[in-house]
Chain A
Amino acid sequence: MKYIIIVKPKKTILDPQGKAIKKVAERYLQKEIGDIRVGKYFEIELEKEDDELIERLASKVLSNEIIEDFEVIKR
């Protein structure tokens, strides 16, 4: 069983990394684009399905609820 967890900065948080990347991306593309937000991606292998365990891991370790949201995808 594979779980994918995506951690994203909350909308209310400024993301200076995203801003810097957007600037370079626009220079490279010679074209204006929308905002870029930088997050984190985790792949976790489990022998058996355990949504509760993954939820706990994502909320207490992989993300910080003050500044980040997360999304869990099951594969």
Chain B
Amino acid sequence: MKVGIVQFLGTNCDRDCKFACDVLGLKSEFLWYESKDLKGCDVIVLPGGFSYGDYLRAGVLAKFSPIMESIREFAKRGGYVIGICNGFQILTESGLLKGTLLKNNNLRFVHKDVYVKVEKSKAFFTNGLEESVLKLPIAHADGNYYCSKEDFEYILDNEMVVLRYCNSKGEIEKDCNPNGSLDNIAGVCNEEGNVFGLMPHPERAVGDLGNDGESIWSRLL
């Protein structure tokens, strides 16, 4: 599979994602936000960072970029899209995923390793990883996942919760929640499972940096 890594103004994890692809031997290419050309990529990555300086709301201005028009079409046709951190925020603002990401409830930029439990879900990217516990880094100020009561019931009923913050044993506890997210949610997918957004950075846990991120990337091999 060829991976397309989107660069917006203010994206800063694009090269980390390229590094992850290189480590795993995945072919990858950068895609510029002002172009509509997905260059024949099979998977699109919206990397972390601060697109448009997080002005107005994190992710909202990027939503109106030309590349996002193509990505919406691509996702509708079943194309695989993964949004990491700011990429997750862009996907929720774009309506490709339910909910939104609020400021962390402690108002801090949280930067540390966390454990997440892979839930049974429809997500393509975690297929076969269900019930496993991954240690992944987070680095964000707006990672507090929130959605309406109706949407919460909907994502539970439709197996759209993909990752939850947990302890090293995989137990979902409030103390393990770094940002106040609803029900410890760290990642969700869409109904079809081809669009996935998550706050942790799997691209920063590959090769010498740890193996847990590789399990997600290696689904693309």
Interface residue ranges, A against B (CB under 8 Å): 13-14, 16-17, 20, 40, 61-62, 64, 66-67
Q: Taking chain B's interface residues, is the majority helix, strand, or loop, or is none over half, making it mixed?
A: loop
Q: Which residues of A contact B148 (CB under 8 A)?
A: 66
A61 CB, nearest partner CB in chain B, Å: 7
A61 touches B60 (CB 8 A): yes
CB distance from B109 to the nearest CB of A (A): 13
Give the complex CA separation of A66 and B99 in angstroms.
7
Known: A64-B57, A64-B60, A64-B93. A16 touches B103 (CB 8 A): yes
Taken residue by residue from 132 to 165, chain B's Cβ proximity to chain A (1 for < 8 Å, 0 otherwise) reads as 0000000000000011100100000000000000
User: Nearest 4 A-B pairs (CB), nearest first?
Assistant: A66-B100, A16-B107, A16-B105, A64-B100
Q: How many A-B residue pairs have CB under 8 A?
A: 30
List 27 A-B pairs, Cβ < 8 Å: A13-B102, A13-B146, A14-B105, A14-B180, A16-B105, A16-B106, A16-B107, A17-B103, A17-B107, A20-B107, A40-B56, A61-B56, A61-B60, A61-B64, A64-B57, A64-B60, A64-B93, A64-B100, A66-B99, A66-B100, A66-B146, A66-B147, A66-B148, A66-B151, A67-B100, A67-B102, A67-B146
Residues of B within 8 A of A (CB): 56-57, 60, 64, 93, 99-100, 102-107, 146-148, 151, 180
Q: State in angstroms the CA–CA spacing of A20 and B105 once bound together.
A: 11
Q: In the assembly, what is the distance between CA of A13 and CA of B57, in Å?
A: 15
Most chain B beta carbons < 10 A, residue from A13, A20, A40, A66:
A66
A17, B100: Cα distance in complex, Å: 17
Q: Tell me the nearest residue of chain B to A67, going by C-beta.
A: B100
Within 8 Å CB of A20, what residues of B?
107
Smallest CB-CB separation from B57: which chain A residue? A64
In the assembled complex, the Cα of A62 lies from the Cα of B63 at a distance in Å of 12
Q: How far is the CB of B59 from chain A (nearest CB, A)?
A: 10
